[in-house]
Amino acid sequence: MNSSAPLAAFVRRHPRLFVLTGAGCSTESGIPDYRDGNGEWKRPAPVTYQAFMGDELTRRRYWARSMIGFPVMSGARPGAAHLALAKLECAGKVGLLLTQNVDGLHSAAGSRSTIDLHGRIDTVRCMACGIHSPRAALQADLLRRNPRWAGFEARIAPDGDADLDGRDFASFDVPACAHCGGVLKPDVVFFGESVPPQRVADARSALAECDAVLVAGSSLMVYSGFRFVQAAVTAGKPVAAVNLGRTRADDLLTLKVQQPVGEALAELVAGLS
């Protein structure tokens, strides 16, 4: 009996899973985690919605860091956790995969029944007219407008931006919406911003159709994800978690697997076939 046996038993017992994933699924793909094993911030907290919308210099700083971090984000490839969860869906075990990640790697791995709870970093939205556009197109525009910045290397954060401490961001040139002149924002839910209600409602109805919850690579420190575990427990549905380190839901879990998430899920999928 290997270490994945309890998780395999959990999945066999509960054929339709609501899978909730977090940053731990993407660390193997080179996108670092925000939080350490105790759920504490590893680096300064990311920009808030209020600061982004309320202050032009904050926006220049955000987009400068984002422009330099973008190649790592856009070049990331699915890792073992993403691939295993796509196979789990193929095997008919996944009712919904709800991810707190914004990197799109579950879709890239082949998962189809997914909701991106916090949006997608590969998409940009105009906050005035609501039009969506590809982040890659904005990247080309940012590089054209800011050739001096293009060569900087920096450490990359999970939301695709980079550390550029001490730079003068006032000169960084950020385009407005080409259609209406409005403020462009990544189509991701910032800290201090609400998840769109329809997205939450869709995830809740999927949860109602599922037998159990499998948390993969999340410390559940952000309430927008944690509330689905609370809702599952309230509805009497068991919750298993694969995560290295503490989660906010540790006292609510039926099963906790302390193992690297890619390794644990790959073993799980291999054991099911």
Binding residues for NAD(+): 100-103, 217-219, 243-245, 261
Q: Are strands 255-257 and 239-242 parallel, antiparallel or unpaired?
A: parallel
- Angle in degrees, 0-180, between the axes of helices 261-272 and 80-90, rounded to the nearest 10: 30
Residue 57: what residue type? Answer: L
Q: Are strands 255-257 and 184-188 parallel, antiparallel or unpaired?
A: unpaired
Q: How far is CA 59 from the centre of its chain?
A: 21
Number of residues that bind Zn ion (CB under 5 A): 7
Residue 124 in the binding site for Zn ion (CB under 5 A): no
Residue 178 in the binding site for Zn ion (CB under 5 A): no
Beta bridge pairs of residue 191? 48
**Smallest distance from Zn ion to CB 137, Å:** 14
Q: Which pair of tokens denotes residue 7?
A: 């998780």
Q: In the chain, what is the greatest distance between 2 CA atoms, to the nearest angstrom?
A: 61
CA dist list (Å): 59 to 49, 63, 131: 10, 6, 19
Q: 């550390």: which residue's tokens?
A: 163
Q: Mark whether 82 is an active-site residue.
A: no
Which range of residues in 13-21, 96-104, 176-184, 264-272 is near Zn ion by CB under 5 A?
176-184
Single out the catalytic residue among 82, 106, 118, 132: 118
Residue 128 in the binding site for Zn ion (CB under 5 A): yes
**Smallest distance from Zn ion to CB 104, Å:** 23
Of the two residues 103 and 187, which places its CB atom closer to Zn ion in the complex?
187
Of the two residues 133 and 224, which places its CB atom closer to Zn ion in the complex?
133
Q: Which of 137, 140, 180, 201 binds Zn ion (CB under 5 A)?
A: 180
Q: Which pair of tokens denotes residue 273?
A: 């076939």
Q: Within 10 A of 33 (CB to CB), how many other CB atoms are there? A: 20
Of the two residues 115 and 128, which places its CB atom closer to Zn ion in the complex?
128
**Smallest distance from Zn ion to CB 142, Å:** 17
Which range of residues in 56-64, 95-103, 123-131, 187-195 is near Zn ion by CB under 5 A?
123-131
- Angle in degrees, 0-180, between the axes of helices 197-209 and 223-234, rounded to the nearest 10: 30
Which range of residues in 45-53, 60-68, 129-137, 210-218 is near Zn ion by CB under 5 A?
129-137
**Smallest distance from Zn ion to CB 186, Å:** 15
Q: Which residues are catalytic?
A: 118
> What does the binding site for Zn ion look like in residue numbers (CB under 5 A)?
126, 128-129, 177, 179-180, 182
